[in-house]
Amino acid sequence: MKKNNSTGEILRKQREEKGLLLRQVAALLDVDTAILSKIERGERKAKKEQIVELAKILDLNQEDLIIQFLSERILYEIQDEELGEKALKVAEQKIKKNNTKQIKD
Amino acid sequence: MKKNNSTGEILRKQREEKGLLLRQVAALLDVDTAILSKIERGERKAKKEQIVELAKILDLNQEDLIIQFLSERILYEIQDEELGEKALKVAEQKIKKNNTKQIKD
DNA sequence: GTTATAATTGACAAATATTGTCAAGTTAAT
DNA sequence: ATTAACTTGACAATATTTGTCAATTATAAC
């Protein structure tokens, strides 16, 4: 029972399910095969536009893929940071505080 | 009842409380006054090393300041992203999952 | 084993973003 | 009006990210 944890795994699985080659998807994405290979294996980060494009090309739910992608960017930002988890919680609190403030507008 | 929301506000308040000039703190930090001014006003992001240094210079709790700083970096990462809050939650879940995994090691 | 196709890897280049310097401009107090 | 502290914006230096390319590895078919 294998889970798709990372954006890369999701992309690769779906590409293979559709029987597409790296070359083909890379062409549609307008990047070199090497880049897509690295993105799928998590060696490189994709750009947001590429994630959006890939969702279209591979018929993946765009929102889910973006959430996945953004969460990885967030985790990348706090990698090796001992206080990362606490910072995440503070960030959430700040967002919430801002949301409730918005009600006034 | 004014809260110190941002890193910059904390830094400025504490510097003023200590009666230090931008010039003086900037010198200790080894950057131009302009940079520190911008950091305090939230116009520029500080580097992590600078945050650590500033905590020392201004006698601020280092962990608290770092958490503050990291949370801002995280929020910066998802600014303007509609799905940012959801991504934050997913990021937290991933961290937790990883924590429990670690027990095995 | 050779050939052919797909994917991976690593060195390097191009593009973008971050951080810094400097000089000129405010602001506020005297 | 002078002075000191701070601010601002243009630009330079640096660092990071993203991309290209050529060489290599892996796999399958013969």
Average pLDDT over residues B46-62: 96
CA atoms within 13 A on the CB side of A30: 5
pLDDT per residue over A27-42, tens digit each?
Answer: 999 999 999 999 999 9
Nucleotides of D under 7 A from a protein CB: 5-10, 17-22
CA of A15 to C1' of D23 (A): 26
Give yes or no for residue B92 having a pLDDT over 90: yes
B58 close to B29: Cβ distance less than 8 angstroms: no
A60 close to A18: Cβ distance less than 8 angstroms: no
pLDDT greater at residue A2 or residue B104: A2
Instruction: Name every chain B residue with its beta carbon within 8 A of the beta carbon of A61.
Output: none
pLDDT of residue B65: 96
Whole-angstrom CA distances from A11 to A61, B56, B60, B72, B97 are: 11, 45, 45, 30, 22
What structural domains does chain B harbor? 7-80 (1.10.260.40)
Give yes or no for residue A104 having a pLDDT over 60: no
Closest CA of chain A from B73, distance in Å: 7
Residue with CA nearest to D17's C1' atom: A45
Give yes or no for residue B105 having a pLDDT over 50: no
